[in-house]
Amino acid sequence: MNGNLITLSRSCGSARLLTRVSHSQITRLYSRFTSLDKGENGTLSREDFQRIPELAINPLGDRIINAFFPEGEDQVNFRGFMRTLAHFRPIEDNEKSKDQNGPEPLNSRSNKLHFAFRLYDLDKDDKISRDELLQVLRMMVGVNISDEQLGSIADRTIQEADQDGDSAISFAEFVKVLEKVDVEQKMSIRFLH
C-alpha cells in the first residue's frame, strides 16, 4: 500500500493545489477510501457511500452522494473523492489572510456556496425553482410538516431571495441571502485532522 500511496500522492499534485491537502491528510483520506472500497477495484460506487452511517441518516444524503459523481458516471476514483471532500475542509486562519496565487481552493467560500447551490438546483438550470426548493425541503423534514406549510416556507423563501422577479433563486441571489452566514464554518468537517 505504501508504494501505491507515494505514486498516488505524486499523481495528485494538481489536485493538491486546489484541495490544499497535505501528504498526511492524503494518507488518511486514502485509508478511508480503501476502507469504503468494498469491491477493491480502486473506485467507489453509490452503494459504497450509502454504507456511511452519517450519509445514510442525512436527509440530503443522496444529494451529497450524487455530488461525488461526475455527470453520467457511476464510479468515483480517489482523486474525485478527494476533490469533493476538499469542499468541506475548514479554512485555516493562515489561508484567510494569505494572498493565494493560482486557482481558488475548493474550500473557499465561493466554492462552498456553489457546492451548496448545486444541492438545491436539481435540474441544473442555474436557478432554484419553487418545486426544487419544495423537493429539498421535503427531503429535509420528511412528513413532519404538511405540504401547505412547506409551500408557505418555499413561497416566503423565494419572495425574500428573488431580486429580479423571475420566481426563482439564482446563484447571485443565493449568495446574497447567505452573505451573513458563516458558510466556511457550517460547511466544514474536521475529517482530515
pLDDT score, position 132: 95
Residue 4 has pLDDT above 60, yes or no: no
Q: Among the CATH numbers 3.30.930.10, 1.10.238.10, 2.60.120.620, 1.10.1660.10, which is that of 2-86?
A: 1.10.238.10
Terminal CA-to-CA distance of the chain, rounded, Å?
A: 21
Least confident window among 123-127, 135-139, 155-159: 135-139
CATH annotation of 111-177 = 1.10.238.10
Helix, strand or coil, per DSSP, at residue 77: strand
Domain limits of the chain? 2-86, 111-177
Tell me, yes or no, if the two domains 2-86 and 111-177 fold the same way: yes
What's the average model confidence in pLDDT over 128-150? 90
* Cell numbers found for residue 66: 450524487
pTM summary value = 0.75
